[in-house]
A and B are shown apart, each in its own frame.
Chain A
C-alpha cells in the first residue's frame, strides 16, 4: 500500500514537471525552426543586404531583400500607437490608483477589461472603415491605407494593458509613503507624480515595454488597415507594410515551401523575434535597476 502511494505521488510529480518542461521545449522548438530556416535564407542573401537594402521586393522579378522598409512600417505604427497608449494609459492608471473612489473604480476597471476583450480583427475593420474616413475629413491627403489610422486604433487597444499594469505597480506602493507626503502638505497631484510614480517606476516601465512589444507584434489591425506596400518612409499618411502583415501575406498566399521566397517569412519572423526579445531583456534590466522593495 505504501509503495503504491509513493508511486502515485511520483507519477503526479512527474506529470506536472512534464507540463512545465513542455513550454520550455516548445519555445526551444520554435526558436530552433526559426534559426534553421533563417540560416537557409542567409545562405543565399548576404546579411549586409538584408540589414541595409532599402527595398523589399522578394516576390517580384527584381528581387531586393532589405528588411528596413518593413521595419519602417512597424516603427511608424508602433510610434503612433505608443503616442496614444502611453499617455492615456498612464493617466488612467494614476486616476484609478490615486483619485478614483471605490465606485468609479468598480465601473471603469471592467470597462477597460471589455476594451481588452474586443477581437483584434474587429479593431482592424474599425480602423479601415470608420477611423480612416473620419481622419480623411481633417487630413485631406490621407490615403485609404496608411499607418496613422491603425496606429491610433492599436493605441486604443493597448491602453488597457498599460493602464492595468501601471495601476498594479502604483497600488503596490505602501499607503504610508503617501500619508507621509500628505502630512507634509503635498497635493494629490504632487503625491501622484512625485511620490507614487517614481516609486512604481520599474512596474510602469515594464508596462510600457510590454505595450511596445504588443504593438510591434500586432498583426490583424495592420494587415487590414495599413496596406501591403513595403516602403521606407516616415510619412504616416501613405500605405506601408509592417513585418507582421508581410508574414501574413506570404503565409496565406501560395509561395511553395522550401523556396527562397518562402524563407523570407522566417527571416522576417526571426528579426521580429529578435526585437521583442531585446525589448524583454530591456524590461527585465529596467525592473532590476529601478526596483524598490518595501517592507
Chain B
C-alpha cells in the first residue's frame, strides 16, 4: 500500500514538473483574415527565432470578431483590416483594455472574377455600388443589369462576412456606409473559401485582400477599378504595389493594423514579438503579397510602441487614406 502511494506521489510530481517546463510563453492573436498572412508569417519566423520558447496562435475570426475577443481580454493582439470602431473603443474602455494601434502594411482590396470571365475588363466604383448596395438584393441578379452588353447570366457573389474588417471597409468605400450591403451572397470570413468559390465558378465575382490573389494568380483574374477621379490616376487601376503606394488605387487602398493590449505588452514575450513584427514586417508583408509601409512609418510605429501610446488616430478617419497622411498621423 505504501509503495502505491509513493509511486502515485512521484508520478504527480513528475507531471507537475513536466507541465511547468512545458508551460512556455503563449501569445494569442485573433482577428482579420486579411492581416492573417502577415501575422502568421511573422509568428512562424518569431517562433523559429525563439527556438520553441514561445508559442503564438493566430485565429481568423474576422476583424469584428477579433475585437470582441480583444476587448473582453481574451487575446493579446488583435489583427484588424480597418481601424477600431467607436463602439469597440467603448467596449474596450468598459473592460479596462488599453490598446496600442500599430499600422503594419498597406492593402489593396482586390475585386476578382474567374479567368473564364471574358466580358469584364474593368469596373467603375458606381457599378460596384449598384451591385453591392442593400437595394440590389434580389434585384441586380444578372450581369447585364450592371452594364448593358454584359451577358444575361446570373452573378454569383462572394465576399467576407459581417465580422470581417474587409467587409466593413469595402461597404464604406463603395456603398458609403459601413456594413450596408446586400445579403444574398456567399459570405465567409475564410478567404480561402472565397478563392475556392470564385476559382470554380465562371459567373463569380468577389472581393478580398490582394494577398490572397497573389497566391492564387492562376485561378483568379483581377478587375481594374476606375474611380472616375483623374486626380488619383486616370482610368481603371489595378492594385499593384506601385499603384497602392502612390495612392492611385482608390478608394480600395487601406492600411491594415495590429492592436496590442497594453497589459499584454507588459509580458516580455509579447514585447519581443511586437518589436520583431515591426522590424521584419516590411519584408514579410512584401513576401505574402501586401504593400509594405515606408521605412519611416515602421520607425514611427516602433516609437509609438516604445512609448506605449494608447488610443487610436485612425478611428473614424475618412476612407482613402494615402500613405503621406498615414505618416502625418503617426508623427502626432
Interface residues of A (CB under 8 A from B): 55-57, 59-62, 64, 128, 132-133, 136, 143-145, 227-231, 238-239, 249, 253-254, 256
CB distance from A142 to the nearest CB of B (A): 8
CB nearest to A225 among chain B residues: B196
**A144-B197, A144-B201, A239-B156 known; A59-B161 Cβ under 8 A:** yes
Distance A73 CA – B199 CA, assembled complex (angstroms): 22
Contacts of B198 in A (CB 8 A): 144
CB distance from B168 to the nearest CB of A (A): 12
**A254-B62, A254-B64, A254-B65 known; A229-B163 Cβ under 8 A:** no
Any A CB within 8 A of the CB of B162: yes
Distance A60 CA – B160 CA, assembled complex (angstroms): 12
A132/B200 in contact, CB under 8 A: yes
Contacts of B147-194 to chain A: CB distance below 8 A: 154, 156-157, 161-163, 179-189, 193
**A60-B134, A145-B197, A239-B197 known; A254-B184 Cβ under 8 A:** no
B183/A64 in contact, CB under 8 A: yes
Contacts of B332 in A (CB 8 A): none
B201/A254 in contact, CB under 8 A: no
B199/A144 in contact, CB under 8 A: yes
B188/A62 in contact, CB under 8 A: no
Contacts of A133 in B (CB 8 A): 200
Any A CB within 8 A of the CB of B318: no
**A61-B180, A253-B65, A254-B65 known; A143-B162 Cβ under 8 A:** no
Any A CB within 8 A of the CB of B204: yes
CB distance from B140 to the nearest CB of A (A): 14
Contacts of B64 in A (CB 8 A): 254
Contacts of B69 in A (CB 8 A): 254
**A61-B179, A143-B201, A227-B197 known; A55-B137 Cβ under 8 A:** yes
Any A CB within 8 A of the CB of B51: no
The residue that B61 contacts in the complex, of A229, A249, A253, with Cβ under 8 A, is: A253
A231/B196 in contact, CB under 8 A: no
**A253-B61, A254-B61 known; A60-B181 Cβ under 8 A:** yes
The 6 closest A-B pairs by CB, nearest first: A144-B200, A57-B183, A254-B65, A60-B183, A229-B186, A143-B201
Contacts of B156 in A (CB 8 A): 143, 229, 238-239
A253/B183 in contact, CB under 8 A: no
Q: Is the interface of A mostly helix, strand, loop or mixed?
A: loop
CB nearest to B195 among chain A residues: A144
CB nearest to A241 among chain B residues: B186
Additional pairs, 12, CB under 8 Å, beyond known A128-B196, A143-B203? A55-B183, A60-B162, A62-B183, A133-B200, A143-B200, A145-B196, A145-B197, A227-B186, A229-B186, A238-B156, A249-B188, A253-B62
Interface residues of B (CB under 8 A from A): 61-62, 64-65, 68-69, 134, 137-138, 154, 156-157, 161-163, 179-189, 193, 196-201, 203-204
Contacts of B179 in A (CB 8 A): 60-61
A55/B200 in contact, CB under 8 A: no
B199/A238 in contact, CB under 8 A: no
B184/A231 in contact, CB under 8 A: yes
Contacts of B137 in A (CB 8 A): 55, 57, 62
CB distance from A123 to the nearest CB of B (A): 17
B62/A239 in contact, CB under 8 A: no
Contacts of A143 in B (CB 8 A): 156, 197, 200-201, 203-204
CB distance from B162 to the nearest CB of A (A): 5
**A55-B137, A144-B199 known; A254-B183 Cβ under 8 A:** no
Distance A228 CA – B137 CA, assembled complex (angstroms): 16
B162/A59 in contact, CB under 8 A: yes
**A59-B162, A143-B201, A144-B201 known; A254-B68 Cβ under 8 A:** yes
CB nearest to A254 among chain B residues: B65
CB distance from B91 to the nearest CB of A (A): 10
Contacts of B193 in A (CB 8 A): 228
CB distance from A248 to the nearest CB of B (A): 11
Distance A59 CA – B160 CA, assembled complex (angstroms): 12
**A143-B203, A254-B64 known; A238-B186 Cβ under 8 A:** no
CB distance from A78 to the nearest CB of B (A): 21
Distance A227 CA – B203 CA, assembled complex (angstroms): 15
CB distance from B216 to the nearest CB of A (A): 13
Q: Can you report 9 A-B residue pairs in the complex whose CB atoms are below 8 A from each other? A: A55-B138, A57-B184, A61-B179, A62-B134, A145-B201, A228-B187, A253-B189, A254-B62, A254-B163
Contacts of A64 in B (CB 8 A): 183
